[in-house]
Chains A and B, each alone.
Chain A
Amino acid sequence: QSVLTQPPSVSAAPGQKVTISCSGSSSNIGSNYVSWYQQLPGTGPKLLIYDNNKRPSEIPDRFSGSKSGTSATLGITGLQTGDEADYYCGTWDSSLSAVVFGGGTKLTVL
């Protein structure tokens, strides 16, 4: 049981937009920055978003992040088959004094 809650799977057609939600509480998302990671099959995780909505320079602007209260959302526009991967949200939990992750969401591009 993960501290952060993500949908197990989402799907959309190529070229479309998809959003992935991440729900937490006041001790984690509600009071700390959220990050998002992409894990392609057989590879290590890759940072997509940090500090709720900042992108590393190499990440295309098709990827975006937002936060409201105790929830965060990853948005991906112009879906490509290469976007098929597992996506994880993460943050610091001030009550646990630990980094916490969501359980991961598998994105299928139909």
Chain B
Amino acid sequence: QVQLVESGGGVVQPGRSLRLSCAASGFTFSSYGMHWVRQAPGKGLEWVAVISYDGSNNYYADSVKGRFTISRDTSKNTLYLQMNSLRAEDTAVYYCAKAPVSGWYLYAFDIWGQGTIVTVSS
């Protein structure tokens, strides 16, 4: 079945780095745009970044621009989020999510991972 499994979360000090991974299975990974969405404790959803199906385009939320980098490895069916210069306000559950339509589609997410928790604290 279609599945996304995140990993790489943990506790990290402010200013340090962390890389999240999202292993995809059950669909043609190279045909779909992929997103990262986060949710701070007790808060709503916040979109983080998107990468196109072929990796040629990406966009970021202003809150992470210049600090986070989204990438994908089609040979490994894996999505990544490199997070640098982490701040306390980056503390959240991070979800990877798949677009429901192949190609360059930006409007929805049909499959979500279970989430990985990132805590930024000294």
Q: A residues bordering B, Cβ < 8 Å?
A: 2, 32-35, 37, 39, 44-47, 50-51, 56, 86, 88, 90-92, 96-104
Contacts and interface: CB of A to CB of B under 8 A. Distances in A.
B108 A45 contact: no
A97 B112 contact: no
A45 B46 CA distance: 12
A102 B45 CA distance: 8
A98 B107 contact: no
B114 to A, nearest CB: 6
Contact of A99 (B35, B62, B100): B35
Contacts of B108: 33, 35, 47, 50-51, 90
Contacts of A32: 106-107
A101 B95 CA distance: 15
Given A50-B107, A90-B45, A101-B44, A45 B112 contact: yes
Contacts of B44: 2, 86, 88, 101-104
A56 B112 CA distance: 14
B110 A50 contact: yes
A32 B106 CA distance: 9
Contact of B61 (A39, A46, A88, A98): A98
B27 interface: no
Contacts of A96: 62
Residue picked from A45, A97, A98, A99, most chain B C-beta under 10 Å: A99
Nearest to A102: B44
The 7 lowest CB-CB distance pairs between A and B, nearest first, are A35-B108, A99-B47, A50-B108, A33-B107, A92-B106, A104-B44, A101-B45
Contacts of B115: 44
A44 B106 CA distance: 19
B45 A50 contact: no
Nearest to A39: B45
Nearest to A91: B107
Given A50-B107, A50-B108, A98-B61, 4 more contacts: A32-B106, A37-B45, A90-B108, A104-B44
